[in-house]
Copies of this chain bind each other. A is one copy, B any other.
């Protein structure tokens, strides 16, 4: 048994022992409980699970001050950000309640028996069913919205899947507090025992992913961590779906016209974006293409000025702080890279990091600058004309986002850039910054590897699709069908004999 310790990143000191690392036997017990809870959670039905999600949101909001205080002490993200994150987390839970009420997510489809060019067709009825218990890995950088009560948990519970969360070692106290709040509320809302579980420790996470009861894994973290979990999954007798959000560079293109019209403003805004949350967003703009010449200089000068005026943020944990020193230091020392500006140097004993602005040329971009680095660093790549820009964009890794900052009414170059980056990005942003990720029906937070490894991802209402699988009933007597597939059920959108029908 090993202690699970909560560390204050502002001091680097251990504050409390939160729990013991979860043993293999206890992981087994939690997974078995999750499996046993699955039929009961599904039997709550869409309305029962919508009520459950709303109850969880209410319970979390009722403890807002306690949760924010613990999370701030463990992450140093500050009460303003954490208050907003809690609001977002509750919004996510309630949005999935709406998804359940609306019912499209079931993809209910009925093909009545009939003749086809292939001969007679039997009665076929298809809808999505819960995949089974889900393992969720909390992320270091969102102690709420991508951790115990986050989007993975909300979407899995909505789908009807019990959840066992692996608490991130960076905020075990927050994880434990929020888990206790949610588990109590879930019990009051009628969810079966075992609907929610929590494990602590690296070995417990590995045990969880290997456990036969676990039917899917949601993960937000590093490529290395994701690859390690994928290897565990590949060794299972029955590999299960792994939904990973892993790494993202988030390139930004400033067009010459944008630089000419509002270069200084853009420079300041870019620094605001890449230092937000200590530069620890997966959507941090890590590489900014700025035109060569005086207009581009204005962007870069404003960036340098803003970085010099920046304080040293406290990073989330010792590992991230050490990686920042190593990777940002390596970037700064790479051939062809120069240091444009540094922010305040760390003074305290905690995990502080000096903001850093680097510059290079888009021609012959050093490969190091295309790798994600958590923390307050970004690289400016100066480009001389569209050909140089497009050649550089062609070498970009896939990202969650790609951003174009345009001139007033400009379309030609932005369209060409969009076409170039679309195969490498999940969200195309115009005249805004990538670090805000609204939760909505139309949101998407993914992209080809390494940003994510699957087509369904963790933000937006389609996140629920990850934890569902299709079942088709063929020739089933009416008594054996789920209610949503009965002929006279009309409360949700369905496709009947090929035609989409709205509820009535």
Contact = CB atoms under 8 A, between A and B. Distances in A.
Report the copy number of this chain in the oligomer.
Answer: 2
Given A238-B449, A470-B446, A502-B502, A439 B118 contact: yes
A172 to B, nearest CB: 27
B122 A414 contact: no
Given A121-B440, A460-B126, A426 B470 contact: yes
A449 B480 contact: no
Nearest to A473: B428
Interface in A429-474: 429-432, 436, 438-444, 446-450, 453-455, 457, 460, 462, 465-466, 468-474
A182 to B, nearest CB: 20
B109 A449 contact: no
Interface in A461-501: 462, 465-466, 468-477, 479-480, 493, 495, 497-498, 500
Given A91-B116, A117-B91, A500-B502, A110 B442 contact: yes
Nearest to A103: B500
A262 interface: no
B480 A411 contact: yes
A211 interface: no
A212 to B, nearest CB: 11
Given A84-B118, A442-B472, A471-B427, A477 B91 contact: no
A415 B455 contact: no
B470 A444 contact: yes
A480 B430 contact: yes
Given A440-B124, A442-B109, A442-B125, A476 B118 contact: no
A19 B414 CA distance: 46
A11 interface: no
B430 A471 contact: no
A138 B398 CA distance: 29
A234 interface: yes
Contacts of A466: 455
Contacts of A91: 116-118
Interface residues of A, number: 89
A453 B238 CA distance: 8
Contact of A241 (B441, B455, B502): B455
A385 interface: no
Contacts of A439: 118
Contacts of A453: 239, 241
Given A125-B442, A457-B470, 15 more contacts: A91-B118, A111-B442, A111-B443, A118-B439, A121-B440, A124-B442, A131-B448, A415-B480, A422-B471, A425-B471, A428-B476, A432-B475, A441-B495, A455-B465, A455-B466
Task: Rank and list the top 3 A-B pairs by shortest CB-CB distance, nearest first.
Answer: A124-B442, A238-B449, A444-B472
Interface of A: 39, 84, 87-88, 91, 98, 102, 104, 107, 109-111, 116-119, 121-122, 124-126, 129, 131-132, 215, 230-231, 234, 238-241, 398, 406, 409, 411, 414-415, 418-419, 422-423, 425-432, 436, 438-444, 446-450, 453-455, 457, 460, 462, 465-466, 468-477, 479-480, 493, 495, 497-498, 500, 502
